[in-house]
Structure 1
Amino acid sequence: MSSASQSRPWDVHRLPSAEGSTVLVTGGNAGIGYFVAEQLATAGATVVLGSRDAVKADAAMTAIRSRVSGAQVRHLPLDLADLSSLRTAVDRLDVDRLDAVVYNAGVALDDGPRRRTGDGHELMFGTNHLGHFALTQPLAPLLSAAPAGRIVTVGSFAARSERLDPDDLQSARDYRPKRTYGRSKLAQMSFGFELDRRLRAAGSTVLSVVAHPGGALDPLTPSRPPVHVTTPGERLRALPAGLLVQGKDAGAWPVVRAVLDGEVAGGQLWGPRVFGLRGVPRREPVLPHMADPAVAARLWAASSELTGTDPRLGFR
C-alpha cells in the first residue's frame, strides 16, 4: 500500500505509514488476525475486524486501543460460513474504497466427524475457502476504487504437504480433519495465485498476494488481555520450541508486509525467513502444486458454481 520505495531494509518494528488507508481483516478478533490488526493499527491504518462474534471483536478492539494510542478500529459482523449474508455485510462497511483486505479467518478441526456449514458445504473448505471466494465479488468495487488495492490471502505451512483433489474438494470420500484443513488452506493459496493471474489479464490495479505465518504457537505469543493470556509457566515450557517456531505476533509479520510493502508484487508468496517457520518476512518461491493452472481452473469453476458467484468476481 505504500508507494514509497524502500530506502532501508524492512523493519517489522518500524512500519511505513498507513495513514488514510482502510483495511478489512477477516477473523481479526483472535490469533494471527488479531496481531495483523494490531500492527496495521500501529502503522496508522483504519482497521475493520470482520468477525461473527461481537463479544470477541469488542475484546480485540479493547486490547488494540490499550496498546495503540488513537487506534482507528471497528467491527464488521461477518460470517463466512453463511454465503447469503456476505453482500449485506459488505454494504455495512460504509466506505467509498478499501485499500486492502486480509483473508485470514478460518476454522481448524483436529478431530470429530465431518461437519457442514448452513449452506451444506464441508465446514473448513466452506469457511476458509468458499467464504473468502464469495466475499471477493462484493468487495471488488471497493478494492478497485483504491489507488492500489490488495487482497492478501493467508495460507499455511501445512499446505506444502497437501494436494488438492478436484474430484473431492469437500472431502466427502476422504475426510481426515487435519488433512482436510491443510487442503482448505491450499485451496485458499491456489485461489490467491489464480486470482492475481486473472487480475493481471483484466488489467486491474488490484493485486493478489499470498502470505503464511509459518509455525505460530499460542504459548510463544505475548499476552493481549482480554484476547489472549500466556502464563510465565506456559512460555517457559515452550521456549525449546522457539528454536523452530514463533509466536502469533511474529506470525503476523509476513501478512503485514504483504499489505504494506510498496515493493510487494501480485502473485508473490511471503513467509518467515528461517525454513519458512520463524523469523522476519521474506519472499518465498511458489511451489508448483500451489499454483498449478489446471488445478486452479477446476477449483475456480467449482467454487463459482458452489457459491453461485460470477466467475469474474466483479473485476473487469
Structure 2
Amino acid sequence: MSSTTQGRTWDVRRPPAAEGRNFLVTGGNAGIGYFTAEQLAGTGAVVVIGSRDRAKGEAAMASIRSRVPRARVRHLRLDLADLSSLKTVVDRLDLGHLDAVVHNAGVALDDPPRQETGDGHELMFGTNHLGHFALTRWLAPLLSAAPAGRVVTVGSFAARSERLDLGDLQSVQDYRPKRAYGRSKLAQMSFGFELDRRLRAAGSTVLSVVAHPGGALDSLTPPRPPAHGATPGRRLRALPCALLVQGKDAGAWPIVRAVLDPEVAGGQLWGPRVFGLRGLPRCEPVPPHMADPAVAARLWAASEELTGATGWSGPPLGGGR
C-alpha cells in the first residue's frame, strides 16, 4: 500500500461510517483505549468498553456520549488477569458477531517488587499478553461470525529494543520492571503476527493486525472529563514535547485505522508517520524480531500451556467462508 494511497483515502477526523458493526475495546475507559472507543463510537458502531472498574467504565461512557450524539456504547466487566473468567465474556457480550476486538488494556509497572496475578503469572506478562491470548481464543467464534472480523493488537515502541527470553518469559530469574513491560508488549505483538499467519493458513476471513500509538503523553491529551483531565499548566509545560510526540487522542489514530480501513491487510503494523512517534497513521515495516516464526511458535505453545486456551486449530479459529 503506497503512502500516496494512504494519504488520499483516509481522514483521521472523519473515519468511515460503521453502523451495524460491533467493536470491543479492552481498557477502553482510559488513555489510548478511551480515545479509540470515542473515535469508533463516532462511526455509528456499537462500542463495548471492557474494563475491571464499572465506575470508570461509566465515566468513560458519559464522556463519549457528551461528545458523540447518540453514541452506542456499553460497558463489559473484563479482568484480563483472571484467566478463568474470560471464557464467559462471549455470553456476557450478548452479540451475534464481533467485527473487531482491540487488545489495548495493559499494566505498566515502574518499580519492583515483582507482582503476580491471581493465577500466579507475572502481572504484566499475565495481563498484557496471556489475558489477551486467552480472550482471543474465546472470542474466536464471534469474530468468525462477522463478515470480516479483525483482531487489533496494540503494541508499544518499547518492544522495539527488547527480545523475548523464552526460558524466562515471566521474569522469574531476572525481574526488571521496564524490561518486563517491553517484553510483555513484544509478546503481544509477536502473538498478533503469528495469529495472522495461522488465520491465513486456516482460510479464515478474520484478520490480525498490530498497531501502536507512538509517543503519546497524558499532558498533550485534550481533557475528557470525567474520564481524563490535565491541568492547563501541565499541558502548557508539555508543548515543547509536541515536536516529537503527541497526545493520546492522536495516538489512537493508527489503531482506529487498523480497525476500520478496508485496505488494511492482515499481518501489517500500523503506527504514526513521523519516526514512529507522532503524526498521521501509516503502515510500517515489521521489525524481524517481532515476526520471527520460530520464536512465535514457541511463545504460542507456552501461552497455550499457561492459559489452557487450546484448540486454536479447530473450527473456532478457521471460520472460512
Whether TM-score is above 0.5 comes out as yes
Residue 7 (structure 1) shift: 10
Residue 91 (structure 1) shift: 1.0
Task: State the superposition RMSD in angstroms.
Answer: 1.2
Residue 243 (structure 1) shift: 0.4
The count of residues paired between Structure 1 and Structure 2 equals: 312
Q: Which residue of 2 aligns with 1:125?
A: 125
Residue 89 (structure 1) shift: 2.2
Q: Which residue of 2 aligns with 1:77?
A: 77
One-letter amino acid of the structure 1 residue matched with residue 137 of structure 2: Q
For the 8 Å contact 1:301–1:311, the answer to whether it is kept is no
Q: For residues 165 and 175 of structure 1, what CA distance do their matches in structure 2 show?
A: 12
Q: For residues 7 and 223 of structure 1, what CA distance do their matches in structure 2 show?
A: 28
Q: Show CA shifts across 1:70-112 (max 9, x none).
A: 0000001100000000011221000110000000000000112
Q: For residues 278 and 140 of structure 2, what CA distance do their matches in structure 1 show?
A: 33
For the 8 Å contact 1:48–1:73, the answer to whether it is kept is yes
Superposed structure 1 runs of 4+ greater than 3 Å apart: 5-8
1:17 aligns to 2:25 (yes or no): no
One-letter amino acid of the structure 2 residue matched with residue 160 of structure 1: R
For the 8 Å contact 1:6–1:262, the answer to whether it is kept is no
Instruction: Say which SS state the counterpart of residue 300 (structure 2) adopts.
Output: helix
Residue 9 (structure 1) shift: 2.6
For the 8 Å contact 1:300–1:311, the answer to whether it is kept is no
Unpaired runs of at least 5, structure 2: none
Q: For residues 267 and 294 of structure 2, what CA distance do their matches in structure 1 show?
A: 16
User: Following superposition of structure 1 onto structure 2, how do residues 291-302 of structure 1 map, counting pairs within 5 Å?
Assistant: 291-302=291-302
Residue 254 (structure 1) shift: 0.2
Q: Which residue of 2 aligns with 1:198?
A: 198
Instruction: Say which SS state the counterpart of residue 109 (structure 1) adopts.
Output: coil
1:268 aligns to 2:252 (yes or no): no
Q: For residues 238 and 9 of structure 2, what CA distance do their matches in structure 1 show?
A: 30
Q: TM-score by structure 2 length?
A: 0.96
Instruction: Say which SS state the counterpart of residue 93 (structure 2) adopts.
Output: coil
One-letter amino acid of the structure 2 residue matched with residue 228 of structure 1: H
Instruction: Say which SS state the counterpart of residue 92 (structure 1) adopts.
Output: helix
Q: Show CA shifts across 1:253-288 (max 9, x none).
A: 000000000000000000000000000000000000
Q: TM-score by structure 1 length?
A: 0.97
For the 8 Å contact 2:50–2:75, the answer to whether it is kept is yes
For the 8 Å contact 1:41–1:68, the answer to whether it is kept is yes
Q: Which residue of 2 aligns with 1:100?
A: 100
Q: For residues 48 and 246 of structure 1, what CA distance do their matches in structure 2 show?
A: 26
User: Following superposition of structure 1 onto structure 2, how do residues 149-168 of structure 1 map, counting pairs within 5 Å?
Assistant: 149-168=149-168
Q: For residues 281 and 44 of structure 2, what CA distance do their matches in structure 1 show?
A: 20
Unpaired runs of at least 5, structure 1: none
Q: Show CA shifts across 1:128-163 (max 9, x none).
A: 000000001110010000000000000000000000
Q: Which residue of 2 aligns with 1:282?
A: 282
1:241 aligns to 2:241 (yes or no): yes
